[in-house]
């Protein structure tokens, strides 16, 4: 197939078209960009010759062999010029299946252009051959674990994220863990569930915020601490930086699945981590469960009581007002964890019972006391 027979698809804002000679410089810029290097298999080092080969041979070759249907994305940049914005493609996997791939030129990130491009690409791919499409039934999406920008855009256009396949993706440095999801022809091209955010919230002497990579050393310190290790008996020991990184990734994953909201409790002045507070198991009939731990140097000064107050308020505030609109929050503590029980009491939680052997501490099972707080309790008080 010659480039001339590559269809041109447009939604009035973004156009998908065959790659052209004049895309070479932009392809080069995109391929040298750190995010492309980090998350795709672009050759390193990447030269202008590589970009020429991509535009002249790789993309046209995919069409000629009917194996990869790659389009250049074009959109109008902020200065008003039509400009190369990236590449999107579908790779034929046979039997009505294809794999989606995409990458944006740095100027086009965060503009919504890639989402538009993917919608055009998917509509074309799923359309029947009689209507000029490829008649696909299922499109699969793969991304290296941790590529949140890729996952979020896949989520926006309706892909599932079905889990992590360990050591499956063949990346530059070897096999890595990959996320995988699919989109079917008849699936709605919209998110399957909300993607929860951890908004920045300011309180009395603490701020709640999203985690970041720089929190890893403080997480390690806190989770190596003897008291944390005692009460949180399931923590790995010795607790390493890899454990902390995986923990932070899992927290975003829970938010991306609308199962929880996970904050870092930070010093409002320095933004340094003081602890964590989370609303977990959102959507269960039992109501969200609040969970927390404090860094050893932040204990004993009311940090957690205030953080839990802020988290609970976020849980109960209506969705229209930026909250989660929940009506119940639970809190579970080992019966002998006095500091934790104090946090529950200070926040007006009501004790509703004791579950035998409900948690595992370092020295074995302990009974737990279960508290709950209803939205109406706060309205009444």
* Interface contacts to ligand COA, rule CB under 6 A: 35-36, 39-40, 102-104, 108-110, 112, 114-115, 143, 147-150, 152-153, 252
Q: Which is nearer to ligand COA, 155 or 371 (CB)?
A: 155
Q: Shortest distance, CB of residue 112 to ligand COA, whole angstroms?
A: 5
- Tokens in use for 250? 């899992």
Q: Shortest distance, CB of residue 32 to ligand COA, whole angstroms?
A: 12
User: How far is Cα 365 from Cα 333, in angstroms, rounded to an integer?
Assistant: 12
Q: Shortest distance, CB of residue 110 to ligand COA, whole angstroms?
A: 4
Sign, CA torsion 166/240/225/270 = negative
Q: Which residue is nearest to ligand COA (CB)?
A: 148
Residue in the structure block whose two tokens are 């989109």: 183
Q: Shortest distance, CB of residue 42 to ligand COA, whole angstroms?
A: 9
User: How far is Cα 220 from Cα 227, in angstroms, rounded to an integer?
Assistant: 13
Q: Report which secondary-structure segment, H or E, holds 6.
A: none
Most distant CA pair in the chain, distance: 74
Q: Shortest distance, CB of residue 193 to ligand COA, whole angstroms?
A: 15
Q: Which is nearer to ligand COA, 177 or 297 (CB)?
A: 177
Give the residue from 90, 99, 74, 85 showing the smallest Cα distance to 29: 85
User: Which phi and psi (to 5°) does residue 76 adopt?
Assistant: -85, 125
Q: Shortest distance, CB of residue 114 to ligand COA, whole angstroms?
A: 4
Q: Shortest distance, CB of residue 2 to ligand COA, whole angstroms?
A: 27
Q: Which is nearer to ligand COA, 259 or 368 (CB)?
A: 259
User: How far is Cα 182 from Cα 310, in angstroms, rounded to an integer?
Assistant: 37
Q: Which is nearer to ligand COA, 113 or 243 (CB)?
A: 113
Q: Kindly report the length of the chain.
A: 381
Sign, CA torsion 133/134/140/142 = negative
Q: Which is nearer to ligand COA, 152 or 301 (CB)?
A: 152
Residue in the structure block whose two tokens are 């839990």: 308
Residue in the structure block whose two tokens are 């030129």: 105
Q: Shortest distance, CB of residue 196 to ligand COA, whole angstroms?
A: 11
What DSSP line would sit under 64-98, residue for residue? Answer: HTTSEEEEEEEEE-TTS-EEEEEEEEEEEEETTEE
Q: Shortest distance, CB of residue 287 to ligand COA, whole angstroms?
A: 26
Q: Is 338 exposed, middle or buried (0-12, 13-18, 19+ CB in 10 A)?
A: exposed
User: How far is Cα 315 from Cα 325, in angstroms, rounded to an integer?
Assistant: 6
Q: Which is nearer to ligand COA, 102 or 349 (CB)?
A: 102
Q: Which is nearer to ligand COA, 41 or 350 (CB)?
A: 41
Q: Which is nearer to ligand COA, 89 or 150 (CB)?
A: 150
Q: Shortest distance, CB of residue 115 to ligand COA, whole angstroms?
A: 5
User: How far is Cα 62 from Cα 295, in angstroms, rounded to an integer?
Assistant: 54
* C-alpha triplet 334, 339, 341: angle, nearest 5°: 55
Q: Which is nearer to ligand COA, 60 or 181 (CB)?
A: 181
User: How far is Cα 301 from Cα 209, in angstroms, rounded to an integer?
Assistant: 19
Q: Which is nearer to ligand COA, 145 or 225 (CB)?
A: 145
In the beta sheet, which residues pair with residue 333? 369
CB atoms inside a 10 Å sphere around CB 25: 11
């Amino acid at each position: 197939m010659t480039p001339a027979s590559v269809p041109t698809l447009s939604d009035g804002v973004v156009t998908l078209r065959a790659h052209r000679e004049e895309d070479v410089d932009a392809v080069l810029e995109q391929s040298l960009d750190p995010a492309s290097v980090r998350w795709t298999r672009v050759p390193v080092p990447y030269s202008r010759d590589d970009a020429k080969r991509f535009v002249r041979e790789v993309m046209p070759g995919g069409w000629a062999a009917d194996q990869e249907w790659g389009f250049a994305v074009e959109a109008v940049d902020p200065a008003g010029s039509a400009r190369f914005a990236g590449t999107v493609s579908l790779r034929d996997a046979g039997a009505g299946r294809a794999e989606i791939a995409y990458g944006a030129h740095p100027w086009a990130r965060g503009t919504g252009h890639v989402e538009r491009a993917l919608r055009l690409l998917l509509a074309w791919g799923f359309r029947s051959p009689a209507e000029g499409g490829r008649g696909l039934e299922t499109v699969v999406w793969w991304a290296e674990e941790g590529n949140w920008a890729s996952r979020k855009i896949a989520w926006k256009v309706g892909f599932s994220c079905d889990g992590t396949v360990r050591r499956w993706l063949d990346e530059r440095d070897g096999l890595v863990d990959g996320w995988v999801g699919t989109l079917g022809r008849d699936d709605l091209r919209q998110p399957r569930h909300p993607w929860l955010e951890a908004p920045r919230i300011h309180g009395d002497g603490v701020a709640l915020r999203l985690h970041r990579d720089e929190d890893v050393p403080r997480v390690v310190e806190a989770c190596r601490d003897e008291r944390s290790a005692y009460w949180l008996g399931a923590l790995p020991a010795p607790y390493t930086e890899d454990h902390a990184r995986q923990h932070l990734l899992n927290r975003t994953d829970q938010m991306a699945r609308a199962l929880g909201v996970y904050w870092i409790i930070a010093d409002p002045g320095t933004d340094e981590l003081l602890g964590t507070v989370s609303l977990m198991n959102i959507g269960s009939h039992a109501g969200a469960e609040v969970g927390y731990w404090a860094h050893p140097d932040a204990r004993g000064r009311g940090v957690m009581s205030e953080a839990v107050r802020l988290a609970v308020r976020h849980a109960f505030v209506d969705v229209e007002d930026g909250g989660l609109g929940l009506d119940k929050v639970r809190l579970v503590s080992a019966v002998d964890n006095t500091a934790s029980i104090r946090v529950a009491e200070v926040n007006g939680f009501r004790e509703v019972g004791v579950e035998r052997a409900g948690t595992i501490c370092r020295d074995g099972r302990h009974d737990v006391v279960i508290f709950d707080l209803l939205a109406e309790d706060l309205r009444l008080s």
